[in-house]
A and B are shown apart, each in its own frame.
Chain A
Amino acid sequence: DAGVTQSPTHLIKTRGQQVTLRCSPISGHKSVSWYQQVLGQGPQFIFQYYEKEERGRGNFPDRFSARQFPNYSSELNVNALLLGDSALYLCASSSEGREGLFDTQYFGPGTRLTVL
């Protein structure tokens, strides 16, 4: 079975631009979560979606938005890019979307975003 896939693998943008990152979950998984991982730090939670509804949001500005499609794939959008947005963006899928309960996350390889 295919794991979580993300595209693109690498991306270079300039400050002020907008970016869209894409994620396809494991077949049968209905929940997708997005994380930002800055070099040397653990992943920081951005959003969780379950059945196309937002289930959770981390401490990120409104420049970050996301959505989940009927086929459970997801997009993360970041507007007005800042240098500090440079990071590895990880997508994870899980079978359920109940935060705090047993809900193992399966991660994709990530998209490396560089903002110049």
Chain B
Amino acid sequence: DAKTTQPNSMESNEEEPVHLPCNHSTISGTDYIHWYRQLPSQGPEYVIHGLTSNVNNRMASLAIAEDRKSSTLILHRATLRDAAVYYCSFRPLVFGKGTRLSVIA
């Protein structure tokens, strides 16, 4: 079962860091962890992915637990444009319900 567990919703103030958690306890050793986000009225867009080591790109950072059963997407400074539903996935074709992030000005 490729199920992930994420909070239904989270809220952040603008310009503050946001940590979005995801549990994926059934992940196997070769599964990459992917994060996508979906802005209103758009298709999902790729954010970041990783296997074992923490990863950084221009959009976000990904922190992966040592046992790989959980990960955290980190937005270093939330902006209003980051308000979206964030999905984590360890099977590229499998998505859960995601976390709806609200950003308050």
Which residue, B34, B42, B43, B45, has most C-beta atoms of chain A within 10 A? B43
B43 lies within 8 A of A100 (CB): no
Is B104's beta carbon under 8 Å from chain A? Answer: no
A1-43 with Cβ < 8 A to chain B:
4, 33, 35, 40-43
A57 to chain B, nearest CB (A): 10
User: CA separation between A91 and B40, bound complex, in Å?
Assistant: 17
Contact flags (1/0) for B5-44 with A, using CB distance below 8 Å?
0000000000000000000000000111010100000111
If A100-B31, A101-B32 touch, does A42 touch B49 (CB 8 Å cutoff)?
no
Q: Are B92 and A107 in contact (CB under 8 A)?
A: no
A contact patch SS: loop
Is A99 interfacial (CB 8 A cutoff)? yes
> How far apart are B3's CB and chain A's nearest CB, in angstroms?
11
Interface size class of A (residues with CB under 8 A): 20 to 34
Partner of A109, one of B42, B85, B93, B94: B42
Interface digits, A81-116 against B, CB 8 Å rule (1 contact, 0 not)? 000000000101010000111111111111000000
- Which of these, A99, A104, A110, contacts B91 with CB under 8 Å? A99
Given A33-B93, A101-B30, A43:B44 Cβ within 8 A: yes
A/B interface sample: 17 pairs, CB < 8 A? A33-B93, A35-B95, A42-B87, A42-B95, A45-B93, A45-B95, A94-B92, A99-B93, A100-B31, A100-B92, A101-B32, A102-B92, A104-B92, A105-B36, A105-B44, A105-B92, A105-B93
Residues of A within 8 A of B (CB): 4, 33, 35, 40-45, 48, 56, 58, 90, 92, 94, 99-110
The 9 closest A-B pairs by CB, nearest first: A107-B43, A42-B95, A45-B93, A103-B92, A102-B32, A43-B95, A107-B44, A104-B46, A110-B43
